[in-house]
């Protein structure tokens, strides 16, 4: 692991690091905010998964999360959204290839050799963080935006006991039923739609739900509502009587102005779960 940068931030440190990833077969970059509390011992962890076209940097510099995390004594992890490099497959479209990993393990060529974001986030990066930093990996929570909201929800529901809480900003709720999902799943996972269901938040909510609190925010003026399909997740949560809150925020769109507006709510929500006895 190599340190790219470290900056003082709200009494703590915002760092950027690179490492060789066995899961993705290339160098990967992530951001990590450590609050001042980490100087005294391991602190809880909140993961933030970003959306299409993003890197580790977008939320790190735009979401306004560090100040709220510093108040709560929580570390923030900002992973990249896909493998990258000259040897990594790509596509001219913004919603496929580099920057659009969709947090799955690809099984199809040319994506399979590198696009293994599920293994990277479920296993490899948590193990690295636990070894290298003052983090309490027994207290983890996860959030994300758009494609990252999809990733946060599917990881949380598929890894029982890993995360104490999950939230999402404008998540892609039903990728098997919309163009933000069907295109990518066909490319990464193949034509058998049965393999897609494990990465659909609405289907997972109906099948198993989440053993903890859920918070979802989506803007009523989100320009991608037809692709996000929020009504499918809302219906699944209601049918399952899932512990959680689903909010449609009037007038807000898909941007980081929306995310930063409600970031305090989400960090506070996760802090309550992370510090609960």
- List residues with catalytic annotation: 146, 222, 254
Give the dihedral sign, CA 219/157/134/5.
negative
Which 3 state secondary structure label does DSSP give 172? coil
DSSP letter string, 108-144 = STTTTTT-BHHHIIIIIHHHHHHHHS-EEEEEEEEEE
* E strands in the chain: 2-9, 12-21, 26-34, 43-49, 75-79, 135-144, 166-169, 214-219, 244-249
**Which pair of tokens denotes residue 80?**
């990249």
Whole-Å CA distances, 172 to 23, 79, 196 = 24, 18, 14
Question: In whole angstroms, what is the distance from residue 110 CA to residue 104 CA?
Answer: 14
Rounded Cα gap, residues 190 and 3, in angstroms: 37
């Amino acid at each position: 692991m190599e340190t790219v940068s470290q900056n003082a931030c709200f009494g703590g440190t915002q760092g950027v690091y690179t490492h060789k990833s066995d899961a993705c077969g290339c160098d990967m970059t992530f951001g990590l905010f450590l609050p001042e509390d980490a100087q005294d011992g391991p602190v809880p962890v909140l993961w933030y998964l970003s959306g299409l076209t993003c890197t580790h940097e977008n939320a790190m510099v735009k979401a306004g999360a560090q100040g709220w995390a510093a108040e709560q004594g929580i570390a923030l992890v900002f992973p990249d959204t896909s493998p990258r490099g000259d040897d990594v497959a790509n596509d001219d479209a913004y919603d496929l290839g580099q920057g659009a990993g969709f947090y799955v393990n690809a099984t199809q060529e040319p994506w399979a050799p590198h696009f293994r974001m599920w293994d990277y986030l479920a296993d490899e990066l948590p193990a690295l963080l636990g070894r290298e930093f003052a983090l309490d990996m027994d207290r983890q929570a996860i959030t994300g935006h758009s494609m990252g909201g999809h990733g946060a929800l599917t990881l949380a529901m598929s890894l029982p006991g890993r995360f104490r809480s999950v939230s999402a900003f404008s998540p892609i709720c039903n990728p098997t039923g919309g163009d933000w999902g069907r295109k990518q799943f066909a490319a990464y996972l193949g034509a058998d739609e049965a393999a897609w269901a494990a990465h659909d938040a609405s289907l997972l909510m109906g099948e198993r739900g989440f053993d903890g609190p859920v918070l979802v925010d989506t803007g009523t003026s989100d320009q991608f509502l037809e692709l996000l399909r929020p009504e499918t997740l809302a219906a699944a949560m209601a049918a399952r009587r899932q512990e959680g809150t689903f909010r449609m925020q009037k007038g807000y769109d898909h941007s980081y102005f929306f995310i930063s507006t409600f970031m305090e709510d989400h960090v506070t929500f996760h802090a309550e779960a992370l510090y609960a006895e």
